[in-house]
């Protein structure tokens, strides 16, 4: 992978993790390229423009937060650097097929069902149901 693109990906990851705004102009300056040249180089290496990559990574981070925290949808949106909750909900639904709150509910239900099955399966040998 081209060294400047690799560096840009690292910068994007840090910006998302630290909840700071992501600016292509600033990134381009940090690797001594014009914004248009950086867009071209990034798309040639990664296959998508930098802005779409940033959006994708923010949504992946939001998905992880919904799965692993008790933050509200608004707090998740703010944590990944999206201040407009309705825009966040629309983008999340477009990518993952359901709004963030519904996604979290479905994940929790699946997790609870898995836990129940695992709990019951550990009892089977004790109650003589191991032959089922």
| CB-CB contact of 45 with 60 (8 Å) | no
Q: Which residue has the higher pLDDT, 30 or 132?
A: 30
Average pLDDT (54-82) is: 94
| CB-CB contact of 29 with 18 (8 Å) | no
Average pLDDT (44-49) is: 95
- For the chain, what are the domain ranges? 1-47, 56-132
Whose CA is closest to 62, among 27, 98, 26?
Answer: 98
Token duo for residue 48: 């998508």
Q: What is the pLDDT of residue 130?
A: 52
Q: Tens of pLDDT along 83-122?
A: 899 999 999 999 999 999 999 999 888 877 776 666 666 6
Q: What is the pLDDT of residue 128?
A: 54
**pTM of the predicted structure, to 2 decimals:** 0.79
Domains 1-47 and 56-132 share a fold: yes
Domain 1-47, CATH class in plain words: mainly alpha
Residue whose pair of structure tokens reads 């998508």 in the numeric block = 48
Determine the longest span between alpha carbons in the chain, in angstroms. Answer: 70
Domain 56-132, CATH class in plain words: mainly alpha
Q: Tens of pLDDT along 14-27?
A: 888 888 877 888 88
Q: What is the pLDDT of residue 108?
A: 85
Average pLDDT (54-73) is: 94
Average pLDDT (30-48) is: 92
């Amino acid at each position: 992978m081209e060294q400047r693109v690799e560096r840009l990906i690292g910068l994007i990851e840090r910006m998302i993790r630290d909840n700071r705004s992501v600016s292509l102009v600033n990134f381009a300056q940090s690797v001594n390229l014009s914004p248009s040249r950086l867009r071209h180089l990034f798309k040639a290496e990664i296959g998508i423009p930098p802005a779409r990559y940033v959006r994708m990574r923010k949504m992946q981070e939001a998905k992880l937060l919904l799965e692993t925290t008790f933050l509200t949808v608004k707090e998740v949106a703010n944590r990944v650097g999206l201040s407009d909750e309705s825009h966040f909900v629309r983008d999340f639904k477009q990518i993952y097929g359901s709004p963030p709150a519904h996604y979290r509910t479905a994940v929790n239900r699946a997790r609870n069902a898995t836990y129940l099955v695992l709990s019951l399966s550990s009892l089977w040998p004790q109650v003589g149901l191991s032959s089922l």
